[in-house]
């Protein structure tokens, strides 16, 4: 098989910062071939190395978050470390940082400073509240972004306090928007020859996916509240109990799909029932409709109900756990579970690359650097031309 060229192989990225949002953006770029060099302070690694469950002392989240990346150590709190980063910037396309606004400026590493060294540099900045505004200096984690972006308010059940989604969705959304902004800036640079700042705030990334909550409130006087497993006015779209005591998801809110659901339930007359014949009518009669659907699903095992729904073309599925995902043949066929050799754990399974490109797909080459500063020699000696003696001196003075 001919080895294809990865689409971002011409980009070099310096990843600063820790934990989730910035490093996740670095992972996305690395998946498609960018040379991502992750910087960690000497003697104080990224906490993500130890987050989550572990096996034989190895954190199981880290190989996913740091896959395809190189690792170097550099003390940005020291002037010597700042000077080295400025040298790296000369050979770099993109800087990713997710420190509190003002930190890079305090270290004499502002965008203006770096752009004087390399006018093409793109600085991707992810923070709780952005680089401007009255809240810019506030500390901001993904949880706060989810809360102030509006997501927590509508998540959960109406008789209970606001809930969180079971993953770090605020950080992930910020990373996705940061990556989009980064690639837009790379494309624009082809025309202007200049870099720019990509300013991504966690709360804005969450708020941007909050659909019509603002005009709902301003123009219709409606505040969307917590509604559990449903969306207001959208029916049927819920989870339904089955005979073998499990739940399946059914989404049949479009008129033509609802007609097919009625046929699957052997109740075709419901499609013309005035209570359910239109989108608005189904929304107004949601509770009744959901109870009727569940009366049907409770007569069948989940597998049989899903087979009938699939035959009729009704979107439906089980609610998957990790075990279900691993056993699903579609995940396997789509290469969404990728096995990578880990130097300590052996075969290591992780999510595949998204999205799928037909001609130049992304690739997972390795599970990240298991040792902090693993690529110090490669980066400092080969890229910057430092001697072994200088590396030793920098190490002894805690610069690297």
Catalytic residues: 171
Peptide bond into 214 cis (omega under 30): no
- Report in angstroms the alpha-carbon separations of 339 from 43, 53, 69: 31, 18, 17
Whole-number Å distance between alpha carbons of 238 and 229: 6
Secondary structure percentages of the chain, helix, strand, coil, to 5: 40, 15, 45
Residue whose tokens read 């019509």: 212
**168's tokens:** 């770090």
SS3 state at 260 = helix
Asked if 275 and 281 touch (Cβ cutoff 8 Å), the reply is yes
Whole-number Å distance between alpha carbons of 370 and 367: 8
Whole-number Å distance between alpha carbons of 49 and 369: 10
SS3 state at 375 = coil
Asked if 144 and 119 touch (Cβ cutoff 8 Å), the reply is no
Phi, psi dihedrals of residue 366, rounded to the nearest 5°: -160, 160
SS3 state at 380 = helix
Asked if 214 and 221 touch (Cβ cutoff 8 Å), the reply is no
């Amino acid at each position: 098989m001919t080895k294809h060229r990865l689409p971002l192989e011409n980009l070099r990225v310096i990843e600063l910062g820790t934990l989730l949002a910035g490093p996740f953006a670095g992972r996305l770029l690395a998946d498609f071939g960018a040379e991502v060099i992750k910087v960690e302070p000497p003697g104080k690694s990224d906490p993500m190395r130890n987050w989550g469950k572990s096996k034989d002392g190895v954190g199981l989240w880290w190989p996913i978050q740091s896959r395809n990346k190189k690792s170097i150590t550099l003390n940005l709190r020291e002037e010597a470390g700042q000077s080295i980063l400025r040298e790296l910037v000369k050979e770099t396309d993109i800087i990713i940082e997710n420190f509190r606004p003002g930190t890079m400026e305090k270290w004499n590493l502002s965008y203006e400073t770096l752009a004087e060294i390399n006018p093409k540099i793109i600085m991707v900045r992810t923070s709780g509240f952005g680089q401007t505004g009255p809240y810019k200096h506030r500390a901001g984690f993904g949880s706060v972004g989810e809360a102030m972006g509006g997501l927590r308010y509508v998540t959960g059940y109406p008789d209970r306090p606001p809930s969180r989604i079971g993953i770090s969705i605020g950080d992930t959304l910020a990373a996705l928007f940061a990556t989009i902004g980064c690639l837009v800036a790379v494309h624009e640079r082809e025309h202007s020859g200049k870099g720019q700042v990509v300013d991504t705030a966690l709360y804005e990334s969450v708020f941007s996916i909050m659909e019509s909550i603002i005009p709902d409130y301003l123009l219709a006087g409606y505040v969307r509240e917590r509604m559990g497993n449903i969306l207001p006015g959208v029916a049927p779209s819920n989870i339904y109990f089955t005979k073998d005591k499990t739940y399946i998801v059914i989404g049949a809110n479009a008129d033509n799909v609802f007609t097919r659901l009625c046929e699957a339930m052997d109740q075709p007359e419901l499609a013309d029932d005035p209570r359910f014949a239109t989108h608005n009518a189904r929304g107004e009669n949601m509770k009744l409709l959901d109870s009727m659907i569940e009366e049907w699903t409770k007569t069948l095992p989940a597998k049989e109900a899903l087979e009938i729904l699939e035959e009729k073309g009704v979107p439906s599925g089980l609610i998957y756990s990790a075990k279900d995902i691993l056993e699903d043949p579609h995940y396997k066929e789509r290469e969404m579970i990728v096995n990578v050799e880990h130097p300590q754990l052996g075969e290591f399974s992780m999510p595949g690359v998204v999205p799928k490109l037909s001609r130049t797909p992304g690739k997972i080459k390795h599970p990240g650097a298991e040792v902090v500063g693993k690529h110090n020699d490669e980066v400092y000696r080969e890229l910057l031309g430092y001697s072994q003696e200088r590396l030793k001196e920098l190490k002894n003075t805690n610069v690297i």
